[in-house]
Amino acid sequence: MLVLLAGIAVLLGRAAYIDIFQQSWLKEQAGKRQLRTVTVPPYRGMIVDRNGESLAISSPVASVSVDPRKLLDAQHLLRKASLDKDENKARLAKLDQEELTQKIRELEELVGLSQGAFQEIIKGMPTKRFYYLARQLEPEKAQRIAELNIPAVNTKREYKRFYPMAETTSHVVGFTNIDDEGIEGVERSMNDRLAGHSGRNRVIRDGRGRLVENIEEIEIMVPGETVQLSLDHRIQYSAYKLLKGEVFKLKAKSGSVVVLDTKTGEVLAMANMPGFNPNDRASLKAYNYRNRAVVDVFEPGSTLKPLTIAAALEARVINSDVSIETSGKLKVGSVTIKDHKNYGALTLSRLLAKSSNVGASKVALLMDASDHWKFLNRVGFGRKPDAGFFSEAEGELAYYDKWGKVDRASRGYGYGVSVSLLQLAHAYTVFANSGLLLPVSIYKQERKPLGQRVMSQVNADAVLKMMQAVVQADATGENAAVDGYHVAGKTGTANKLIKRRYSKNHLVVSFIGMAPATNPRLVVAVMIDDPKVKKASGGRLAAPLFSKIMANALRVMDIAPDNLPELELQIKEAIKPAMASRLAVVSEGVE
């Protein structure tokens, strides 16, 4: 009894000593073993269209990592214990070894590794302290891995980006890498706003790394902001679908479409081919995910002619009712400019309708190079559109002091200048807004932005009226007509410059137009690169595609028709046979 009492006294004394004199030291040691600071990943902000439709969202996933050195040490201790002279200790160590082996096999199945692969990975990096076994794993699988309680194997919550409209909006929205950082499109240009800021928490973990308790929030996690684009997913879907079908049918190298709201400068749709699915990492190739409408440039060809006429009107070297003689060929230096046929004297409207190169060159040669250059620069050529994309092409517009006579003439009908499709569509909004150029944007605008006057209202309206002749019967753009609406626009067919020579077999065809032409609300620009068909032209290939995209966009935007009398006449003509047949039946009944 005395020995027992003595033992109790010793234990009480030891407890008192620890509690009084070693309390701080023990707390410090416990903290080192149990207290951890963990990072709380932020929820990346959504990307939505103008109507709030989701274009990019984040879903919770998990990563699985291992500390190879720690796990190898644990396995070494188990092997050492299994050889202990004490049979009970050895037996327990062997059981633990078998249990660990079984858990590792389950882990391999969950992360998609073949049997034995995990152990090979660990043995291959004996001194390494961190290695990812899996990224963006389903939360259910991560939970099962956490429940296995394998030493040195940890799970961490993160997020995976998902794109509901897949390839339809991929070139605009872009995509993120495996670390959830934007690397293309709006994901990249707005990465700071979308990413948010990580938080930090101090927590208690047990010996196996399991979370026991949250102690305090050191730094608050700030989720990413929602970014609203100007895109309308209905117009975007139709534009992409129609473009994709046309590019495949024509076996073209690529194609692009831009739809702009003329009243706000907003991009309502922007589609490109070839496309890619951002949800499928295997399809992420630079050739596919380049936003061609923004970063690729081309010589616009005849779509530049309305701007040439506008520049000449602004320079006051011609007036809107002038006629230009286009007979024969035009010799400029060593270059001979000609049309498909002899059109004779043409008004400016007919010049655009027939797309006369001779006429456009003569108009350009009437101007000083400085006046022509200044106008093209005012409408956005040679500078970035600043629409909100990370990479935007400036195009090429050489300074006018380098323009020779051949340069002046060729720029009249669209050669010697390079632009992106977005720049060209943006320039055409000048005619829709009576001479005002509004800033273009891929983000939804809360109020109408201020515009810059780049030409007079009289001249802008005059050119707009001229372009309506392009979409009439027997004109180059007759296939661009939209039932119930007046349309103004211009076709373009340009030979591609390959190895410093213009190729007759490789073309860029395009059409840019506005509707309703009496009060334009939409600009649609279509470009198809290198179609593999005979007699390719903007009027034959790009104009019909324009018509389909414009018709759908007008319907979606609920824009009132401005050409109903002609549509009513067409309906009456279509039902005349049926009405005549019905009257004949009625007459027979009366008789």
One-letter identity of residue 419: V
- Annotated active-site residue 581? The verdict is no
Closest CA to 351 of 479, 490, 459: 490
> What does the block give as tokens for 260?
């702009």
SS3 content of the chain, % helix, strand, coil (to 5): 45, 25, 30
CA nearest to 428, candidates 551, 547, 511: 511
Cα distance between residue 226 and residue 491, in whole Å? 39
Residue 283 to residue 342: CA distance in whole angstroms: 50
What residues have CB less than 8 Å from 111, skipping those under 6 apart? 64, 133, 134, 137, 141, 145
Task: Tell me how far apart the alpha carbons of residues 219 and 353 are, in angstroms, rounded to a whole number.
Answer: 66
Selecting among 58, 254, 302, 441, the annotated active-site residue is 302
CB–CB of 178/136 below 8 Å? yes
Report the candidate in 301, 530, 508 with the shortest Cα–Cα distance to residue 415.
301
Please choose, from the candidates 506, 472, 505, the residue with its C-alpha nearest in 3D space to the C-alpha of residue 491: 472
- The amino acid occupying position 109 is E
Q: Report helix, strand or coil for 397.
A: coil
Distance of CA 299 to the CA centre of its chain: 23
CA pair distance 459, 295, nearest whole angstrom = 31
From CA 85, how far away is CA 404, in angstroms rounded? Answer: 99
Residues with active-site annotation: 302
